[in-house]
Structure 1
């Protein structure tokens, strides 16, 4: 199987020592021991701190923390992740939330430190294991144990995509490719179909990609990062994971093999059009604080998604 571990946008991380003293004091209080070592994890698409901690007594934990001065939107995402993980059952395939901190300006999560590595998409066995775990989690979280008062819906995402696309299509020199513009009615029909297809009561992680998945030494799968989770249909996370291969026939093969997609119709093409179009336009926006590479990442991923949508429309 061809591997598609696409480069991600990288946030400007701060080291643990740069986190406010009050937050670090709280970490040591909830863990019950001083921090002896903090190793910053440089990957990820958020600014702020992400560090593996070794405590003075030998125990380990993982901390992620961000303040409004670094990126206000990331504060909101951390806050949502903390609320979601606090409400979910403790299982082996999600990192356990040990404690959460929120003083209005800074939000921090202390999580179980998971030993593992990101999946190698060239390894068919790892791909199958991840797909099986994503399907199992989708069924586990149907219906969602977290209510709509906490978690937004995918229909709200659709509204954002539609508004951004309409704004670009209405301008004389938009970012969207000519084939997208010349098939505007077809695109609108696919997005209109999503207004029905994206209804659902499943808690969708909606951010499943190579760097948000870990494989433990025993081969088991852990699905991490819940900051953009949404309520939607049971099949949504399979489509999100398959987008690792959006521009290739492997995308179609994954969807065809999953029983969760049996009643989804052609919603996947609409999602590629919506996300791909949104990312293409967003790739022209200024970089937000702490994410200097985000516009280039969005533009690159937008092209991939639209290539996949165009391929499916031509089939």
Structure 2
């Protein structure tokens, strides 16, 4: 099935989100500081409805008629959230103008609460299951991103270094108790059975995963439908805490399992139809996808992290699609 033919729903889960705070849930001092940074009183809020990060994420309407998209997180919601917010500040300072991403207007960090204020990305997340026209527009925006390099003086990690630990999922599972992998028995289309039968091969393929990702392009690192906003004229790529510098095709490879999960078509057909895949050696792609599948599989088998109860089901659905893709690549 091609991307243009993908109009029927997939049985996989289509979208999840984390647990959000409302404006009234924020401490008074945090609300006051946001209004100081924004330069006006807040008169209304519209909470974000997608994404996994816990904490506060909303478009705030200001008394002077402006709007600002604000994120506010502290360790109380999730211990990792403040560091991710700080990473997003570093990413925002590295994104060149041609990349379709909201600009960071201001930020603040008191050691507990991290606050970020962005331009408002107009529109909505893509409709799910994916509509072919919207998927084409998002892939076109990703093609623009694939040609971008970070601004001089950036502080982003290399993609291979950023994912080095994450992409050892198969080795971690192989070294652990077999009972963990037994929980994949009911995974879609026999993927659990296939991975257990090919665990040694998956470990071997994934050994080259991070080396395959080396490059000099700006990599978002976490693109999915819930990290995209779309309207009649624009596509915006949002939520950049995992940004790094690596291969031009990395974001496409990372995203297509979620596209397949959400009714957009088969990863193999989507990937090779895009300009950023031109000239890529299939073995290099296979290594990266093996690392990605190991990351999703290992993650899906862990307890849910604080404040993000739906994450593991979402990772399982992407793991299943990545494994199906590996069957084609193998």
Hey, what's the Cα distance between the residues in 1 that align with 2:140 and 2:312? 32
2:6 counterpart (2, 14, 19): 2
8 Å CA contact retained: 1:246, 1:305: no
RCO higher in 1 or 2 (8 Å CA, sep ≥ 6)? 2
The Cα of 1:201 is off from its aligned counterpart by 1.8
Report what 2:272 is aligned to. Answer: 256
Select 1:136's aligned residue among 131, 135, 144. Answer: 144
Per-residue deviation, 1:107: 0.8
Aligned to 2:187: none
2:34 and 2:136 mapped to 1: Cα distance? 37
Q: State the shift of 1:11 in Å.
A: 1.1
Q: 8 Å contact 1:88–1:146 — kept in the other structure?
A: no
- Alignment match, 1:285: 302
Distance 1:194 1:263, change over 3 A: farther
Q: Please state if 1:105 is matched with 2:119.
A: no
How far, CA to CA, are the matches of 2:154 and 2:67 in structure 1? 34
Query: Across the two proteins, how many residue pairs are aligned to each other?
Result: 309
Secondary structure at 2:266's aligned position in 1?
helix
Which residues of 2 match residues 40-119 of structure 1 at below 5 A? 40-91=47-98, 93-119=100-126
Other-structure match for 1:151: 157
How far apart, CA to CA, are the structure 1 residues paired with 2:223 and 2:102? 14
The change in CA–CA distance for 1:55 and 1:240 in structure 2 (over 3 A counts) is: same
Per the alignment, residue 165 of structure 1 pairs with 170
- CA-to-aligned-CA distance 1:96-144 (integer Å, 9 cap, x gap): 1110111111111111112212224643332222111111122122xx2
- Tell me if 1:124 matches 2:132: yes
Deviation at 1:147, TM superposition (A): 6.1
Displacement of 1:200: 1.3
Q: Helix, strand or coil: the match of 1:140?
A: coil
Whole-angstrom distance in 2 between the partners of 1:28 and 1:61: 10
Q: Structure 1 unaligned runs (5+)?
A: none
Structure 2: which 5+ residue stretches go unaligned? 185-191
Inter-partner Cα distance in structure 2 for 1:312 and 1:137: 25
1:235 to 238, 244, 249: 249
CA distance in 1, matches of 2:114, 2:43: 22
Q: Equivalent residue of 2:86, what SS?
A: helix
What is the DSSP-based 3-state SS (H/G/I as helix, E as strand, rest coil) of the residue aligned with 1:38?
strand
Take 2:273 and 2:6, find their aligned partners in 1: how far apart are those partners?
17
Runs of 4+ more than 6 Å apart: none
**Residue in structure 1 matched with residue 327 of structure 2 by the alignment:** 310
1:35 aligns with 2:39: no
